[in-house]
Each structure stands twice: as structure tokens, then as C-alpha cells.
Amino acid sequence: MSTPSQRYAAAQQRAQTPLGRFAALYDFGFDQFQTQACQALAQGQQVLVAAPTGSGKTLVGEFAVHLALEQGRKCFYTTPIKALSNQKYHDLLRRYGPDRVGLLTGDNSINGEAAVVVMTTEVLRNMLYENTPTLAGLGFVVMDEVHYLADRSRGAVWEEVIVHLPESVQVAALSATVSNVEEFGAWLESVRGQVATVVEEHRPVPLWQHLQVGRQLYDLFSAEQGGVEGTPPAGAIPAVNPHLLEVVAGLEHRAGADQPHRSPSRRRDAGGSRAGFWSNAATRPPGRATTVDLLDRHGLLPAIVFIFSRAGCDNAVRQCVAAGVRLTSTEQAQRITALVREHTDWLSGPERLVLGYEPWLEALQRGVACHHAGMLPVFKQVVEQLFTQGLIQVVFATETLALGINMPARSVVLERLVKFNGQEHLDLTPGEYTQLTGRAGRRGIDIEGHAVVQWSPGVSPQAVAGLASTRTYPLRSSFAPTYNMAVNLLARLSFEQARQLLETSFAQFQADQQVVGLATTVKKLRAQAETARSQLRCPAPGDAACGTQDLVEYAQLYQKWQRADQQASRAAHALTRTDVEAGLRALRIGDVVVLSAGRRPGLAVVVTPADPHPDQPARPLVVTAGRQARRISQVDVGQQVQVVGRVRVPRHANPRNPAQRRDLASTLRASGLRPPPAQRHEPAPQESSDHTVKELLDQVRAHRCHRCRHRREHLALIKRYHTLHQQIDSLTQRMNRDTGSIARRFDRICALLEQLGYVQTRAERVQVSAEGARLARLYGERDLLVAHCLRQGTWLGLEPAALVACVSGMVYQSRREQGPAGQSEGLHLPAGLARQALIDTLAVWRYLHEQEAAQGLAVLPEPDFGFAAAAWAWAQGDDLADVLEQVDLQPGDFLRWIKQIIDVLDQMVAACAADTSGKAAGTPAGVASVAATASAAIQAIRRGIVTYADPSD
């Protein structure tokens, strides 16, 4: 046992190490996993930390910052979203001061050459491709929320950065707990060198799981299963609280008994919550104010209530205010008012009115707020500050709040376990549940956190238990080569080197690992197929027995007949689909069409006809009697298009304007038109197909094995034999497809780029052309479309406002189910160059889309001009209130799209000044003219709230 003097000497020695000096900055001791990860960094290793939300893994990233400053090197701290970058920037600013900390988020730059720079991951990716001088002296890169590389639209950026970073840079990757962390760590080691993978599964603050049933809270798990954390150990089969099961079973029985006697119309209770189909008072979801009161009585505030709808969040705040909820003292309300005024003094009176400033402030003064992407960024930042200071007690938020922003609470409430992903309603995954509920429990403040799921009929306690007990989820790569990536790689590497580099991606690593497993499966299936073939023996005596070859021949003939029968049936239905497609394409503005299928049957009026191009699906835009604007397809009309009449549609009607949607729906309802009685539509028979099917059936019946009394057993065994071989063929094709799949996609992209002239093969070396150099400076989903419009002169001669309208289609994405607005939005712009430019831009996209299809690619999404009219109006100088009235958008969305337009315009200016080496050079007069217009366009839209937004946003 060591003496006090020895322990003192050891402590003094530790204090002289980088980790010791770093630990001295904190007033708490480090957890073992934090110490382990920091020590690995100090020893020069790469580090991967996988730990639960709120466990303190960002401390490892802060140690990387500390090491960089001690060693006189740079550290870049990357995050997936600007809100998290802003928060981390302010955290580091308080510790190290403005001289040593900077921020880069694409459209904002603060001290970008500082020793420590916080940035979004895309900014670092662009730096690496452009090889900017800012990279000089870079020693550490922190990749916070690195599991974001699974994101479908942006995840590839993380892999690009990891693969392209110089070997001399140490990476500290911070991830949520994922089930395949060893696999991810093995890949990191294969591309970055020695990696210390540190996994922590213990939550520092225990999390208790509850179900809210009406006005009562129930523990989800039995006491003996709850353990210390109120959640069964990972992998254990959870035992649900039997009393809870009794309560829920009783309520479901009562709700089911009431169901036949209730109207299915949707109603709202006095508290504003959705009554829905289940109108029994015992099963009706509680009002939001009731839930807040329940949490308050149980001491579970502050709380975050996740509602997967922006409008739902706004409504929840209004309901609480209307119900008289007040969770603050007079002194707290005064502090709230002072902080709000400090951050929003720059807002003008008209801007405050359109932004709903006064109702927002009143709710804050009561201790209630919402937080979602549709809010003005400064409003969100105020909410975040007030919540972390303990001045806000309840925040109604969408899931974007769970993406790393440091806003922990004592409890988290989930109103539903289903969310809309932009295309369809899907159940929450265990990973999403873990991410959301991980906000519950503030380290150093709460001794435990609480996760609450609101019960409604159809919500199974067992299903909730399954979500709560599945603590991890697999990390799957979303990486795929893009046009911009291809030209940037080829500008630095040979074709073969670029190809080899892409094969080191995590996506290919996972595919190769999967191929190994598939090969084992194929081997087992082949053994089973041989066994099945050996069993092909007929037990009939003598000549009556079917030989093995006869059986195989009979089975092949039998299957041939079945396939012909199925094909004939499919052909008949294909004719029906063709008829429906033609019917949809024939619809004109004002036609009233019957929506006989899908989730929302009824009548709808056509506002925009289907795209006339034969390669585009026939999806006219309609407004329904229920005031919904959406694009329809065969899924909505069934097996025939039924037009029951016409109504008048105003010229240039804008279905995205709520008032115009309301007027159209009212006109439709007042027309008196009704759907005709339901009729069964049978597909037309195919005479030639039917004849072939009959011939094959006759051959089957004439075969000697058809008369064998063991025929059914033979067919079952042969069917299994063939099924096994089909599985083998399918898996073999999948193995061939997965092996080298990333490189093959790169080959197709390069082939298309060469065909279009963006790269050239000279002396067996692929080189980037001048047009390719421009493409290399254009980042985004529609990179090639922007480059080709510049090259073709599509935007030449436009006024700044018209260029803004065109560029809006390169960034905007409709949130609702009608999909891209396409050509129709051009009708809402004044006649002339602006409208024609949108149509010409769509024509360029269609051309590129055809070339992609010929190469077996599908990379470029269709431009979406749903924001074009609003962007054009803003560039023309219209007031914010007038602009927002034109589109069904919230202020935060409007600001985000405008900033993204500015980002693309900035890229265009840079791209137009790039030659094949990426340096500034003379450019053709047309391209230079567009660059000048882009600069003027930036000035035209960088005004008002766009200018006065927080510079760190």
C-alpha cells in the first residue's frame, strides 16, 4: 500500500501530463471511458468513442482541442448541423477566447484562420478538395455525431473527410452507441492507422421508463426487471408491469365496445388534443396542458415533449397559454424578457408582427416554448439559452432537437411512436427512440431521468418495452460517388488511384464483409439443394414409377405453365395501368377527378396537369375537398380515371397558398359533384396469351408424371429444389453486385462526365476539363445540373431576381407529399425571361436525366421550383409578410432556403473563375456575365432578417 507522500508524488506527476493539465480545468473527475480515450489521443492514436447521449463523450473532443493548443497545432471541430456548430463555438469561445477560436458554417465566417475552428463537416470536405492554405498545421479533427454518416442525403461527407484527411492528422470520432462499433472501428483502422475503440454503455444518469395513460403515469417495467436504470439490461427480454397491462387491456376493451356507436369524424377535446376515432373519455389523449400539469405534479420538469410536427409544436404552445399554464415567477419572467430583448432588438415592427413575436414572448414569459426548424434561428437560440438557464420548463420540439444540441431535461415525453419522414409515416426505430429519450436526465443536476410515452389505443406496452430495451442500432454507410466527388478526385489522382481510394470507403468495407457472409450462406444452400435432388425418387412400383429425369422435366413444364399464366395476368393489368396513365395525362386544369383508392378517397380538382414528357410519371397536381394539395397517381384513382365534371380554377392558382387552397376546396364542395357508384373494373383478356397458357396446360396434363398418385409430393420436393437454386442465383448476383459496387458506380459517372466533356482521356490519363473545374467548385445534390446550365448559357441574360428563382430549384425540397413542383411553378412568375428560364432549366435536367438512364445511373433529383416565386419576390424587394403569404412556409424555413441559395450563388461565382487547375483565370464572356449577375443576386437577397440574423448562425 502506497504512503501519503507516494500518492502525492504520483498526483504531482500526473498533473504534469497533458491529460493532468486538462483535468485541472474541470471541477469533476473523469469517467474511466473518458480517461481511456484521452490517453489514447495523447499517445498519438486515432480514437472512436461510442457512448450514450449525455454521457460526456464531447469531453474527449475538447481534449483534442487542448492537445492541439499545447502542441502549437490546429484543431477542427466538425458537427453535422449549424446549430450544434454555433453551440460548440460559444462553448470553446468562453474557454479559450475570440483570438484562438473561429467558426465556419458555409455562409458565415468568423476568424477562420484561428487555431481552433468549429465547422460543419461539409466545410472541411470542401477545404480538402480545394487544398486550402487553412489546412496548414492541422493536427486534430473532432468528428462529433459521426454516426450521422448513415444519413441518406448528407452522410457521404463524413466518409469523404475520413478518407481524404492527411495521415498526420489525428481523428477523434464521437458516436452514439451503435451495435456494430467494432466493424466501424475496424474500417477506421484500415484507412487511418491505429485506432483505439472506446465503448461505454452505462448512462451516468439512470433512465426510468413510463407510460402515460390518461392523467396517470405508470412504470413500464416490473420492479424486479427495472434494475438501477429502470430499463432491463441490454438484450434481456423485458417484463412489462402487469398492473399497466391490466389498465391498458381494460381501456382497449371499453374503447372497442364504444367504437361501433361513435362517429369517425375527428374532434378535439377542451384542452386541444386530438380526440380522433376513440372518443371515449377514458381513452381520449390528454390535452397538452394536462400533460404539463401531470409532469409538474410528479416533479418531472423541465421537460422536452417531442411532437413530430412543426404545426403540432406551435399548437401545443398556444394550447398551454390558452389554458393559463404559468411555470415561472415574476422575477424569472423579467429575466426572460430582458434576454429576449437583448437578442431581438434589431427586429422591426412589421417583422415582429409577421414573425408572431408577441405571442412567442408571452409563452416564454410563462415558461413554455417550442423548438423546430421552421423558427427563426435567433428565436431557437433564445429558447436554447433560456432552457439551459432553467428559465423555460417545457419545450415542445421536433426530432431535430435530438441531433446533438445540448438541451438536456429531467424528462422527455413522446406523444407518438410514428413520424412522417417526408414520404410516409413510419414507426420509430429503437435507435431513434434511444436518441430522443437520451435527452432525459441532466448530469450533475438530476439523480435520474424519465422517459414518458403517451398511450393511445393501438399503442402496445410490449412494443414500447421493445423500443426501450433495444439500446443500440447498426451504423450503415450511405456513401456513394457523386459528379463533384469524381472531378475533384480526378483533379488530384489518376483514374486507378481514385478508384482504389473509393474502394476504401466504409460502404465498400461493409459490402465486402457482407459478401463473406453471403458466400457462407450460398455454400449451405447448395448442400441443401443436393440433398433435395437426392430425394427425388418415386415410390410407385415398377414401370409406374416416375424417373428422376421425368420428374425434373415435368416440374419444368409445370413451372413454365405457371409463369405463362402469371405473365398473362400481369399483361392484362399492365394494359389497365397504361390506360390509367393515359387518363391521368389527359386531365386538364379544372377537371374534377374521383380519388377512389389510397388513404384519402373523395373528389379533387386538377390545378396543374401531368408533365407531358413521356419519360416522366403522370402525376397531376390536385386540391382535394379537404384542402390538401398533392400529386396523384394510379395509387389514388384505382383501375380507371373517372372525371365527374369541371369547376373554374383561377388563372395562375397557387396551391401552396393556404387561402387559395381553401377557396378551391370550397368551390369543389359547392359544385354539387359526387362520385359515381362503385364499379368493378376487370382487366381486358389477352387472346394470344390465353392461347399459349391453354397449350401449356394441355402439355402438363398429357405428361406421364401428371397421372402419378405421388405427383403432389414430387412437385413439392422439386419446388423446394428450384427455390433453393433461385436463392443461390439471387445471392450470387448480389455478391457480384456488391463486390466493387462503389468503383463500378464511379466508372459509370466518369463515363457520363467524359461523354459530356467534363473530363477527357489523353494519353491514357483521365484529365479534368475547364468545364470540369467549374463542376469541382459546385457542391450539392444538383451539382451537374448547375454546371450544365452555366455551360449551356441557360441563365445568360437573366436579371438577378430571375437567377435567384432558377437557383432556388437547385436547393429547395418540398416537404409535402406532392413532390417537386417542377415546371408548374414557372407559371407563377411574370411572363418573360424568368418564366422561360425555369422551363429551360427543366429541359436541361431532362436531358441529363436521359443521359444518366443510358449509363444506368439515377443521381440528379428533379429541380423543385416550389420556392421560386417567393425567392423571386424577395429578390425584387417585396416585404417579408407579402413573400411568406405566397408560400406555405414558416420564417425559419424561408431564411434557411434563402441562405442556401446564397451559398450556391457564391459557389457559382467561385466556379466561374476556375480553370482546369482550379486557379483564378479569364473565363468566357457569358460565364463571367452570369457570375456578375450571381454577385448582384446575392446583394439583392441578403437583406432584412437575412442580414440581421445572428452572425454565428
Q: What is the pLDDT of residues 910-936, one digit of tens each?
A: 888 764 333 333 456 677 889 999 999
Question: Is-contact 630 816, C-beta < 8 A?
Answer: yes
Angle at 590 between CA 586 and CA 596, to 5 degrees: 70
Mean pLDDT score across all residues of the chain: 81
Cis peptide before 302 (omega within 30 of 0): yes
Query: How many Å apart are CA 513 and CA 522, to the nearest integer?
Result: 15
Question: Is-contact 73 138, C-beta < 8 A?
Answer: yes
Question: Residue 252 above 80 pLDDT?
Answer: no
Between 260 and 120, name the one with better pLDDT: 120
Half-sphere exposure of 808 (CA within 13 A, CB side): 34
**pLDDT-based confidence at residue 724 (cuts at 50, 70, 90):** confident
**Measured CA distances, 363 to 290, 344, 429 (Å):** 16, 16, 32
Residue 691 makes CB contacts below 8 A (sequence gap 6+) with: none
Half-sphere exposure of 941 (CA within 13 A, CB side): 34
Instruction: Kindly give the pairing relationship between strand 621-624 and strand 629-631.
Output: antiparallel
**The predicted structure's pLDDT at residue 257:** 52
**pLDDT-based confidence at residue 267 (cuts at 50, 70, 90):** very low
Between 942 and 947, name the one with better pLDDT: 942
Question: Is-contact 923 912, C-beta < 8 A?
Answer: yes
Which of these, 153, 184, 180, lies nearest to 171 by C-alpha position?
A: 184
Q: Which H or E run contains 886?
A: helix 880-886
Question: Residue 803 above 90 pLDDT?
Answer: yes
Question: Residue 564 above 70 pLDDT?
Answer: yes
Query: How many Å apart are CA 804 and CA 793, to the nearest integer?
Result: 15
- 3-class secondary structure, 724: helix
Question: Residue 950 above 70 pLDDT?
Answer: no
Please report where in the chains the cell 394550447 appears, as a residue: 319
**Measured CA distances, 333 to 282, 305, 376, 773 (Å):** 36, 21, 21, 56
Q: How many CB atoms lie within 10 A of CB 593?
A: 23
Task: Give buried/exposed letters for 103-140 (b at 16+ CB in 10 A, else e).
Answer: bbbbbbebbeebbbbbbbbbbbbbbbbbeeebbeebbb
Between 351 and 337, name the one with better pLDDT: 337
Question: Residue 396 above 90 pLDDT?
Answer: yes
Question: Residue 93 above 60 pLDDT?
Answer: yes
To the nearest 10°, report the CA torsion of 427, 431, 435, 441: 100
Query: How many Å apart are CA 604 and CA 330, to the nearest integer?
Result: 52
- Range with lowest mean pLDDT among 35-44, 353-362, 540-549: 540-549
**The predicted structure's pLDDT at residue 2:** 62
Question: Is-contact 421 431, C-beta < 8 A?
Answer: no
Give me the amino acid identity at 260. Answer: P
Q: What is the pLDDT of residues 653-665, one digit of tens each?
A: 777 777 788 888 8
**Measured CA distances, 862 to 153, 486, 587, 823, 890 (Å):** 15, 21, 22, 10, 23
Please report where in the chains the cell 475496424 appears, as a residue: 186
Q: What is the pTM of this model?
A: 0.75
Question: What's the DSSP call for residue 201?
Answer: -
Question: Is-contact 110 90, C-beta < 8 A?
Answer: no
Question: Is-contact 140 64, C-beta < 8 A?
Answer: yes
Question: Residue 450 above 90 pLDDT?
Answer: yes
Half-sphere exposure of 599 (CA within 13 A, CB side): 6
Q: What is the pLDDT of residues 142-157, one digit of tens each?
A: 999 888 888 877 888 8
Query: How many Å apart are CA 420 and CA 423, to the nearest integer?
Result: 7
Give me the amino acid identity at 347. Answer: L
**The predicted structure's pLDDT at residue 570:** 66
Give me the amino acid identity at 173. Answer: A
Between 256 and 356, name the one with better pLDDT: 356
Extract the runs of DSSP E, i.e. beta strands, from 857-914: none
Query: How many Å apart are CA 854 and CA 678, to the nearest integer?
Result: 42
- 3-class secondary structure, 574: helix
The terminus-to-terminus CA distance of the chain in angstroms comes to 55
